[in-house]
Amino acid sequence: MMKLSEQQQKAIEATGQVLLLAVPGSGKTTTLVARLRHMVMKQGIDPSSILVITYTNAAANDMKARFLELTRAEADAVPIRFCTINSFCYSVLTFYARRYHRSKPEDLTETLPLIRQLLQRISHIPFPSESEVGDMARQITYAKNRMLNEEEIGALLSGETKVKPVFDAYTRWMKEHHYMDYDDQILFAWQLLRKVPGLLRYFRGKYRYILVDEAQDTSKLQHEVIRLLTGPEGNLFMVGDEDQSIYGFRAAWPEALLSFREYYPRGRVLYLERNYRSSRAIVGVSARIIGQNQKRYPKAMRAVRSDSGTARILRFRTRLGQYRQITEMLRGGGPKTAVLYRNNDSAVPVVFALEEAGIPYSVRGLDTMFFHDKIVQDALAILRFAMDPRDFDALDRIYYKFGARIPKQALLEAEREVAGGRAGSVLEELSGSKRMARSQKEKIIDLETEFRIIRSGDSSMDAFRRISETMNYQYGKSEKIFLLRALTEKGESLAAFLEKIEELEQRILHHRNEADSRVVLSTIHSAKGLEYERVILIDAVEDILPAKDGDPEEERRIFYVGVTRARDELDLAAYDDFRQPFLEELRTDHSADFPRRSGAGIPDVPSAKG
């Protein structure tokens, strides 16, 4: 039998309605599995009356396997149900249709084509990008899972597009065609459990013991299903940590944990506060980070390990200069290292640097959406037009994005003059057009000069410096332009850069992870639940982490989750040319109980050359 702490043993034996708050690395899954064993083998509870709800199918399968290993039982001999909330709700719909002779809506598993059509028809977007379609799909999911009312849905935006007209058309189409999507499975089950007393009685009688894992990632709608199923007298064991709730964009609702005693007046809140994963230094940094949040339960997280390990700020003179230095750090031997970041886009320059250095790596969940983003496509069009002033397709994409207010008709006339050989260049023709005001002509002349300099210099590095700093391109200061600039190389021509971008997209698209690679690239979200000997956390800069419009507390939770993936070594990348609110907090916090250098909150590594 496994050795358990006093807090774990208390959680295993608790009865009634319980919320177990488990800090990172505290052995929550071990505790949950041990509790199941105690219920079945010590308390004699009928296994078929136990429902275990997990966040993913993989987690359900893993927990079942661990339970069977612990009890040395055959799967058929212990009929505990391990499943996701969607799987449970689907069984509710299936049972209802069979018992009450109703037809169940058909599953529409691929909703993006429908949303694309609605964006074209309702929002008048002729060619919605993958990111636009995907974000609208997330907003629809968010509205359903947060149980938003009409007014609240009306306030939602997907980029600059209003969500409600698309949401209304989407739900109307689904109803008319008798379809349901993934979120409807939960919504319809909740509605039926509320409206059909016999259905609720059946499932309450069938599952008298409910255990919920990763409760902080559960949506408001999902919590309402669980609350209905539990009832005022039911047995509920909910495991989670509001400090690790980082899926707000998927409608995660940590308020259910914070309001647990309001929802379950007879409930108790227990804690797992011993961190078995990380070294003392890393636990110390982690506790200080999350301690800044206000909407949380106070916890006394402490390290079980006696070794201090290392937690340090890795300083770079410039953010652009980090990639070569990190690549050098990853050469040769060393511990299994995860390079973590907030957004997938941050991986693109790291992938390029590792590919060029020939360092094997694995990457979690990276796609090629970066290359199809409108700003990236704009930048490539700028390069193409600089190379070929007769590339009208490129110019048509970007002409209105430099503040010159060029009318479309004037542009078309100028292009016809150039195509007919009656003018030398479109911008030169526009600068002399009677359609243009003096201020417009001045801006067009400046723009023509910029393109001429880029063309004659034929340098990708200089081109992106100009796109970012002098061309007055409306997205010149964006993160996408920064990342493209990070991919440029000294002495590289515009044509070579364009070819490299195409090749890099194909490399990422066809990359096959190597199981034994020492380097893992991952978003913090994808790394949740995992751990690594060493973590290098990059790009924790203002407007990325924390995000510009993000919930400040959730942003800090994301940073906290990233930091707590580290077992032995933690490196936080810092840059002299960017603001980094979370790192600034650490630099000025003197409460740590581990070695410091020059009075800093955690030790600094001297500036790396940019």
Q: Is the peptide bond before 552 cis (omega within 30 degrees of 0)?
A: no
Q: Which residues are paired to 158 by β-bridges?
A: 161
Whole-angstrom distance, CA of residue 357 vs CA of residue 349 = 12
* Residue numbers belonging to the annotated binding site: 22-29
Sorted by sequence, the CB contacts under 8 Å of residue 529 that are 6+ apart come out as none
Q: How far is CA 526 from CA 69, 83, 428, 521, 564, in A?
A: 27, 20, 50, 10, 13
Beta strands in 189-307 (DSSP E): 209-212, 235-240, 268-272, 274-275, 302-303
Residue 610 CB coordination number (10 Å):
15
Whose CA is closest to 591, among 604, 601, 581, 599?
601
User: Residue positions in the annotated binding site for ATP?
Assistant: 22-29
Q: How many CB atoms lie within 10 A of CB 7?
A: 18
**Which of 130, 114, 132, 147 has the alpha carbon at shortest distance from 224?**
147
Query: Phi/psi at 581 (nearest 5 deg)?
Result: -55, -45
C-alpha distances (whole Å) from 178 to each of 164, 205, 324 are 21, 30, 55
Cα-based distances in Å from 239 to 65, 107, 178, 211:
19, 30, 36, 8
Which amino acid is present at 55? Answer: Y
What is the 3-class SS of 500-559, one letter each residue? HHHHHHHHHHHCCCCCCCCEEEEEHHHHCCCCEEEEEECCCCCEECCECCCCHHHHHHHH
Helix H segments across 73-230?
A: 85-99, 112-121, 130-145, 150-154, 164-176, 182-195, 197-206, 220-230
Q: Please report where in the chains the tokens 């110390």 appear, as a residue.
A: 284
Please tell me what DSSP assigns to residue 252.
B
Please name the residues in contact with 561: beta carbons below 8 A apart, sequence gap of 6 or more. Answer: 24, 244, 246, 524, 527, 528
* Both tokens assigned to 489: 């190389």
**CA–CA separation, 330 and 309 (whole Å):** 19
Residue 228 has, within 13 A of its CA and on its CB side, a CA count of 24
Distance CA 69, CA 72 (A): 5
**How far apart are the C-alpha atoms of 255 and 576, rounded to whole Å?**
37
Determine phi and psi for 19, rounding to 5 degrees. Answer: -110, 120
Residue tagged 């723009």 (tokens): 447
- What 3-state class would DSSP assign to 106? strand
Q: How many residues does the chain have?
A: 610
